Amino acid sequence: MPSPTPSIPPADKGPVRRSAGRPRDPAKLEAILDAGWALFLERGVEAVPMEAIAARARVSKGTLYASFVDKTALFEAAMLRETERIEVAQRFAATEVFDAPLSDTLRAFGIGIMNFLASDQAIGFYGALSADVRRHPDLSHAFWELGPGRTRANLATILAKAGERGEIEIDDPGHAAEALFGLWQGFSNLQLALEGGTDDARAAIADRVERGIAIFMRAHRGGRP
């Protein structure tokens, strides 16, 4: 069965300032990024010295500085890697199987993205690093384009195609995507941020997505039974 991916222009990630002498061992580069990201989540960017990142990654300071000229460059690279992971997490849901009912496609999309948003890595990012990202306009834009912006565009594409096939009546796919996403998310983001109730929030994802789809479909079926 064909599974076309919506045509969405890639985000402009902007330059990532790395030193000329990147380590030849890709495993060391990944270790540096893993260590830096973990420490940024634990302490915030400003409070993490480069020496701590080198120690956590088990590389020398020379290897660290051969990879990234400074901590800001390392943060940019780690942040862009995380946005790419967000894209991968929803990529399967951004494809549409033509033989499947719209509700099945939306269910896969909703459960996939909501599971990601309730993951430890997503919660950690929004809790610890959102302020740091806002201090880097280019990085903030890249995160929006590859994260929330792409989620909205992918969902809008699915809804627009369903409208073209006559499955739903829809005027503005973008606004409809925002409304549906709001039904899925509800207050769960506040619950995760304020209470840390990850188990309860994760357990409720499937039911929340199902209810949101039911409400959305009733609103957009028009005169269809």
Q: Report helix angle 173-185 to 102-117, nearest 10.
A: 60
Tens-digit pLDDT profile for residues 181-203: 999 998 887 777 676 667 878 88
- At a CB cut-off of 8 Å and minimum separation 6, what does 155 contact? 109, 177, 180, 181
The closest alpha carbon to 157, from 117, 102, 209, belongs to 102
Domains of the chain: 83-225 (1.10.357.10)
- The CA angle 30-36-41, to the nearest 5 degrees, is 125
Residue 184, helix vs strand vs coil: helix
**Cα–Cα distance for residue pair 92/109, rounded to 1 Å:** 8
**Cα–Cα distance for residue pair 132/154, rounded to 1 Å:** 27
* pLDDT class of 91 with cuts at 50, 70, 90: low
Tens-digit pLDDT profile for residues 99-123: 578 999 999 889 988 888 888 777 7
pTM, to two decimals: 0.70
Q: First vs last Cα of the chain: how many Å apart? A: 28
Q: Which two tokens stand for residue 58?
A: 């088990």
Tens-digit pLDDT profile for residues 125-163: 776 667 777 777 777 777 787 678 888 998 999 999 999
* pLDDT class of 53 with cuts at 50, 70, 90: very high
CB 40 within 8 A of CB 68: no
The closest alpha carbon to 180, from 51, 172, 133, belongs to 172
The residue whose two tokens read 């985000």 is 11
